Structure 1
Amino acid sequence: MSERHLSIYLDDWILKDVRDGSHNFFRRLIGAVEAAGWSTSLHQTGPEARRAAPDRPGYALYRMEAPTHDRALTSRRTYVGAFWHVEDSAERWDWPVARVHFDADSIDGEDAAHFFFGTRNRLYPGVKPVDEDNLAFIPLQGRLTEHRSFQAMSPVQMIEAVIARHSGPVVATLHPRESYSEGEIAALEALAARFPRFRFQTGGSPDLLRRCRFVATQNSALALEGFFLRKPAVLFALSDFHHIAGSVPRDGIEAAFARLSQTPPVARYLYWFLQLNALNAGRPEFEERLRAQLRQFGWPI
């Protein structure tokens, strides 16, 4: 096998779409590397495949998994639309975009507005955001009672912190792909019993995002989506899209909440974060930008 070979490791549920060419990002990625004279192969990921990967010739690409060796990278969808990242770390908060300074004045306002309204109309056609109920929306993720290393506090503690700093109703939603333990649900029920302004539910996130005053979360994608509806956010965990949000790990909790009174430049930010700092698999320049990204990691392409 040539050294100019890319082995792509994917979960079984996505392999079918990639093999039949119906997954746009991977279809164009494979086309981009093969157009540069490389060969490609698809593999089901898993512990055994990951152990064997460093001994295979050529290079490797994963999806939402940590790279296994210095010739491997990982890919991940950048929250919305056709935007993706290819990076050398699986943790989004370690990506270059998370560490770089966002300068709104350096972004062309006309280009940003065109991108913002065009993307918003595609993602949220006909949606009219309101703020009539002074509602704080908390999209939960997983492991509600644990304080993990990238978090300022546990999700349950986060809910208490929001209740303490917001006078209106507070509504949390359970993540549809998480499986919650009896203890986690009991912790939420105990909060609801202590604080009548708080409730939690399954589903309804799109409507809550439209109606809320702000989003508070560890680092849920719904906070980024809320920027398209001009909803400010407070993040309680490290994130790649912290720049215009209040960030408890970065600012401290009181300063993070104080940022809710500001009006962030959401159009310029989303244009910068998505169009300028991610790979848009819906654009004609995707292949060349992808190859340039791979060259930045030393790949001979």
Structure 2
Amino acid sequence: MSDLVFHVPRSWFSLSGEGFRPFYVRLMKGLDARGVAYEVEVLDRDTLPQRVEADSAIHVVHHGRFAHPRARNADVAYIYPFWNFDAQGIRAFSSIGKTAFPQDDIDPEVARPFFRRLRKRIVGGRTSRYEQPTDAAAVNPAKAAVFLQSEGHRIVGETCYLDRWQMLRGVCADTDGPVLVKPHPRDTDPTTHEMLRALADEFPHMTLSSGNIHDLIAATDRVVTINSAVGVEAYLHRKPVVLCGQSDFHHIADVARSPQDLSQILSRPPRKRAYDKFIWWYFGDRCLSSTDPDLADRVLGRCGLA
């Protein structure tokens, strides 16, 4: 009988598909070296509950949010090579969101170098989850930068406290100074751009930009988003963040659960936070790295199989 069962997309089994992600390849090699039995199956979300109940193994669900004592959900956690490996879900649904951030217990001598390395790679390299313009462009200073997400490619409704238009209108109405807005690069819906043009006419201090995300973050006093990975990237810039939706990295952000909350947050000067400690805690402690030589041991520990 297998100790672990991996549920992954069907396309990964095809030579023409994406193939298995390095996280799984390295993990399985580590399990082989330790003599741990496992199986790999095509992910069927409809029958997953019955499949999990059919045995006593730990079931690893790719890109899942299947909460079960014997399930672990896995996928990239905003920044490669770090992965969520969690009993509740991934990203906005992971249990990290309900875990207290132990700021006072974290050694700054451990956190700072970790933060600097990640900042150098992401901010210094001007990279992001989605392709960005490579040329640096001058961006006028702004009081706030709003980063929209693509609602056509993922389910965001249940994670929103405010929808994107409530968020953007609130920021424009309550910000005394320039507001930068970057549409999501994957949002090609003409309705989105029509609405943005109408808001730009209504609020002359609002400017649309398709520039590199890091240029925009560097130019602004604070970043506002629903729960995009840009919030994490803003932490790497040491910039204050306002979140308008459910997130598992809310611990050092201001969270607006209503238009009134957003207005009150924007009326206060932004506050600096323990960015270096949080980045280490989230990625170095709460997540797993696919490059970690002890990856298999950490996975087995989280599965109660160590």
> How does the TM-score come out when normalised to structure 2?
0.80
Output the CA distance in 1 between the equivalents of 2:13 and 2:264: 42
Output the CA distance in 2 between the equivalents of 1:170 and 1:204: 16
Query: How many Å apart are 1:48 and its aligned residue?
Result: 6.6
For residue 188 of structure 1, give the secondary structure of its aligned residue in structure 2: helix
Whether 1:175 aligns to 2:184 is yes
Whether 1:29 aligns to 2:27 is yes
Output the CA distance in 1 between the equivalents of 2:66 and 2:252: 29
Bigger drift between 44-53 and 119-128 goes to 44-53
Unaligned runs of 5+ in 1: none
Query: How many Å apart are 1:120 and its aligned residue?
Result: 1.2
Evaluate the alpha carbon distance shift between residue 218 and residue 55 of structure 1 in structure 2; reply closer, same or farther with a 3 A threshold.
same
- 2:84–2:94 Cα contact (<8 Å) kept: no
For residue 292 of structure 2, give the secondary structure of its aligned residue in structure 1: coil
The aligned residue for residue 162 of structure 2 is 153
Please show how residues 1-301 of structure 1 align to structure 2 within 5 Å. Answer: 2-10=1-9, 12=11, 23-45=21-43, 50=48, 53-54=51-52, 58-67=57-66, 71-90=70-89, 92-125=91-124, 133-143=141-151, 148-180=157-189, 182-202=190-210, 204-249=212-257, 252-257=261-266, 260-295=269-304, 300=305
Output the CA distance in 1 between the equivalents of 2:161 and 2:125: 36
Output the CA distance in 1 between the equivalents of 2:267 and 2:234: 18
- 1:4–1:59 Cα contact (<8 Å) kept: yes
For residue 143 of structure 1, give the secondary structure of its aligned residue in structure 2: coil
- 2:143–2:222 Cα contact (<8 Å) kept: yes
Output the CA distance in 2 between the equivalents of 1:195 and 1:40: 57
For residue 261 of structure 1, give the secondary structure of its aligned residue in structure 2: coil
Paired letter, 2:119: R
Output the CA distance in 1 between the equivalents of 2:52 and 2:15: 24
- 2:2–2:37 Cα contact (<8 Å) kept: no
Bigger drift between 150-159 and 234-243 goes to 150-159
Evaluate the alpha carbon distance shift between residue 243 and residue 131 of structure 1 in structure 2; reply closer, same or farther with a 3 A threshold.
farther
Query: How many Å apart are 1:200 and its aligned residue?
Result: 3.1
Evaluate the alpha carbon distance shift between residue 13 and residue 211 of structure 1 in structure 2; reply closer, same or farther with a 3 A threshold.
farther
C-alpha distance after superposition, 1:87-140 (max 9, x if no partner): 133353443321122232221111111111122112233669x99612422111
RMSD: 3.4
Evaluate the alpha carbon distance shift between residue 112 and residue 119 of structure 1 in structure 2; reply closer, same or farther with a 3 A threshold.
same
> How does the TM-score come out when normalised to structure 1?
0.81
Count of residue pairs the alignment pairs up: 292
- 2:2–2:39 Cα contact (<8 Å) kept: no
Bigger drift between 190-199 and 211-220 goes to 190-199
- 1:60–1:73 Cα contact (<8 Å) kept: yes
Q: How much identity, in percent, do the aligned residues show?
A: 24
Evaluate the alpha carbon distance shift between residue 17 and residue 118 of structure 1 in structure 2; reply closer, same or farther with a 3 A threshold.
farther
Paired letter, 2:30: A
- 1:10–1:42 Cα contact (<8 Å) kept: no
